[in-house]
Amino acid sequence: MRKLKLVMVGNGMAGVRTLEELIKIAPEMYEITVFGAEPHPNYNRILLSPVLAGEMTIQDIILNDKQWYADNGIDLRLNNKVVKIDRKARKVFGEDGCEVEYDRLLLATGSNPFMLPIPGADLPGVIAYRDIADTDAMIEAAARHKHAVVIGAGLLGLEAANGLALRGMDVSVVHISDWIMERQLDQTAANMLRKSLEAKGMKFLLPKFTAELQAGESGRVSKVVFKDGETVPADLVVMAAGIRPNTALAESAGIHCERGIVVNDTMQTYDPRVYAVGECANHRGIAYGLVAPLFEQAKVCANHLAMFGIGLYKGSVTSTKLKVTGIDVFSAGDFMGGDGTEDIVLNDPGAGVYKRVVLKDDKLVGAVMYGDTKDGAWYFQMLKDGQNIGEIRDHLLFGNSHLGDAGHKGVNSAAAMPDTAEVCGCNGVCKGDIVKSIKENGLFTLDEVRKHTKASSSCGSCTGLVEQILASTIGGAYQPADSNNKAVCGCTDHSHGEVRKAVREHKLLSPQAVMDFMEWSTPNGCASCRPALNYYCISTWPHEAKDDAQSRFINERAHANIQKDGTYSVVPRMLGGLTTPAELRAIADAADKYKVPTVKVTGGQRIDLLGVKKGDLPLIWHDLNQAGMVSGHAYGKSIRTVKTCVGSEHCRFGTQRSMEMGVKLEKMLFGMYSPHKVKLAVSGCPRNCAEAGIKDVGVIGVDSGYEIYVAGNGGIKTEVAQFFCKVQTDEEVKEVSAAFLQLYREEGFYLERTVHYIERVGLDYVKKRVLDDTANRKALYERLLFALQGYVDPWQERAQLPELRRNFEDVTA
């Protein structure tokens, strides 16, 4: 029997999901041709923001590579835009002149970004943010330019602003409403989010109305002018002011369009041979821009293309989760409320938590949360199901884990969730789908579940829940992801462990040597792998490998922390937090000479000079070096500080000389580079005024000597350090601390804190290597001392050279 011909115009997530569903239920029914205007196969558009932020690569977000199309007999035509549809002859015409017949036509043309119709919108440096090409343009601009303006503070605009800020740009976000993300958040949640984003370096201008964009001498955009006459500098302008369904092709073919290609509940257009899905489609007056509704449309559309004749799309209830690292925001339904509704609100600004649920007739109709969003999926399920919440109203804000057993036993347990509960909102995957796939296909890992069900493969917010379901379904056979075998980045399939082994066994002395030997897929690596390779080389071969400055982050190359206004923070080292009048005079003189606007005592008991211009960095370091002061490495993956209390030198409660011990440790470790930053503290008694209990290495003085704690972390998620051992002498403190840190240096993966290293290998393993094996402890101690012998801070050398400014520009280029 002759196969029918299916042509799909558009190669995005909604269209390809339709093909995936169709191939599952009717694999032999169609000859399929796909036209894509971009040069890339199907990729996850949701994850463009992590690519912009440098957290992922383009390869990481490819959903279906070219081989997938070939394996399924699909004729893929990339870089080929369809320019005409002849509905009478049932043909489509490609930009390259080709003609392809169809029996069924699927339009998945997506949407176009809305570009403000203002003077200057066509200037170089003014772009939208919709695809890989836009992302590449933004990454290139961030490397060359300083000032970015993002117009639009919706979901996409904030993700663009976050990515550009992480790449070192000075970012201003312009918005016409009184608060950001007004379609997804109420004003209270929006203001909390804005405060968090401002702490990340973003600036907000709202409500503001853009009048025009002006060019500079080079012809590139240089300034944004507002209707009130105010201006801001802009080397890059990103339009994120909304999207419009891409209907031009459909309209030119006479297909009825009205703010989208109008479709019925089977996703058919007014021409029954032509279907439409995704952002281009208008269903019951709504064009959806979120991925979950588009995937629901895809399933219905595939069912009707397969001529099963069942399945209707009735519209979607949507939820929003913001993907800005370290910030959790969730909203769903009618969270603004109104007539006939009532609100229950929990607002704790100090803890950074806000929850608002909107009720109507004892049913949840909307929810918005900031800070604590772990119950978002639970609220969303109740909202979709129309569940009566009368019995649990008093506990609603405290989440499903506080419900007890009354009629809700185990609601917070993945094992007890009903099969109908939705787990992955992006892909519309319920618990029952996951459990069935695990059992039928013999799945044992998270990656296998993603491959078979798509759960956790889009925004990733449901990953933890999917892992819980996997563990509860297969019990002891569960295989958690092995962090030892995770690829360094998208440039290679090799893991961190494999790279470290190769560097050690084959004496590879530079990042380029590693990439050549291990056959990197990219010739020059990327921002993720190059710093890791550089660290592995210099930590393994400390006196033979050459430190590659271009494989370090900008803060390390500049020897200062870049601030949100583009100036730098300079922190001279003060051993153990101790200083002298001469050092204080040198700091005061430098602050006066270079007009440093802010001088602050840091949490590590150092003095921070904030607001230093980049061009002044070599000169201010020269002056500080002349006074005997060196870098505190406050910017480095290295030893940062050893914090101390005054100890028995002064304190009436002190049992040990903590300041003296802190100075000894800091002198011993000066110049130590490590997988991530390392902080130490020495407290003179168990009152622990130096906060040793949340440091990578914490030393607490007791009557009989010292207690040593390891793997603490005072960051976003505070981790209390674990008790390691008890020793009697200063020399033992030095030897044990150094041995532990050298083991971490030799075995830790780049950007892995000590707490995560301990989680991966286990505290018992570290104790065996450092405490139980005396000979190995001494060997580790000696290897660290060998690596650090003769260390001279690069700035001590560089500050003595002539033409300091030019030399500095060469290093930081």
User: Which residues define the annotated binding site?
Assistant: 645, 651, 685, 689
Residues that constitute the known binding site for siroheme: 689
Kindly give the pairing relationship between strand 111-113 and strand 243-245.
Answer: antiparallel
Amino acid residing at 772 = D
Show Cβ contacts of residue 32 under 8 Å, excluding neighbours closer than 6 positions.
6, 7, 8, 19, 72, 73, 74, 75
Distance separating alpha carbons of residues 483 and 790, to the nearest angstrom: 35
Burial of 7 (0-12, 13-18, 19+ CB in 10 A): buried
Residues that constitute the known binding site for [4Fe-4S] cluster: 645, 651, 685, 689
Is the Cβ–Cβ distance between 44 and 13 less than 8 Å?
yes
Distance separating alpha carbons of residues 324 and 318, to the nearest angstrom: 19
Distance separating alpha carbons of residues 174 and 238, to the nearest angstrom: 10
Coil, strand, or helix at residue 417? coil
Residue 748 carries which DSSP code? Answer: P
Give the residues across from 333 on adjacent strands: 366
Amino acid residing at 308 = F
- Return the closest-CA partner of residue 517 out of 535, 541, 501, 538: 501
Is the Cβ–Cβ distance between 190 and 356 less than 8 Å?
no
Is the Cβ–Cβ distance between 667 and 575 less than 8 Å?
yes
Would you state the structure tokens that stand for residue 593, as one six-digit string? 């000479």
Query: Of all helices (H) and strands (E), which one includes residue 530?
Result: helix 529-540
Would you state the structure tokens that stand for residue 633, as one six-digit string? 């490495």
Question: Ramachandran region of residue 219, left (φ > 0), alpha (ψ -120 to 50) or beta?
Answer: left
Total Cβ atoms within 10 A of residue 282: 20
Which ranges constitute the DSSP H helices of 627-729?
658-669
Distance separating alpha carbons of residues 784 and 65, to the nearest angstrom: 46
Would you state the structure tokens that stand for residue 93, as one six-digit string? 């015409």
Residue 172 carries which DSSP code? Answer: E
Give the residues across from 713 on adjacent strands: 719
Buried b (16+ CB within 10 A) or exposed e, 707-745: bbbbbbbbeeeebebbebeebeebeebbbbbbbbbbbbb
Amino acid residing at 588 = A
Cα→Cα distances 655→29, 150, 492, 690, Å: 82, 56, 52, 14
Is the Cβ–Cβ distance between 239 and 113 less than 8 Å?
yes
- Return the closest-CA partner of residue 660 out of 544, 548, 577, 716: 577
Residue 330 carries which DSSP code? Answer: E
- Return the closest-CA partner of residue 152 out of 240, 23, 264: 240
Would you state the structure tokens that stand for residue 215, as one six-digit string? 């060019």
Distance separating alpha carbons of residues 6 and 719, to the nearest angstrom: 56
Distance separating alpha carbons of residues 513 and 713, to the nearest angstrom: 34
Is the Cβ–Cβ distance between 341 and 334 less than 8 Å?
yes
**Residue with tokens 């580079």, as numbered in its chain:** 673
Burial of 424 (0-12, 13-18, 19+ CB in 10 A): buried
Alpha-carbon Rg for the chain in angstroms: 30
Distance separating alpha carbons of residues 35 and 421, to the nearest angstrom: 36
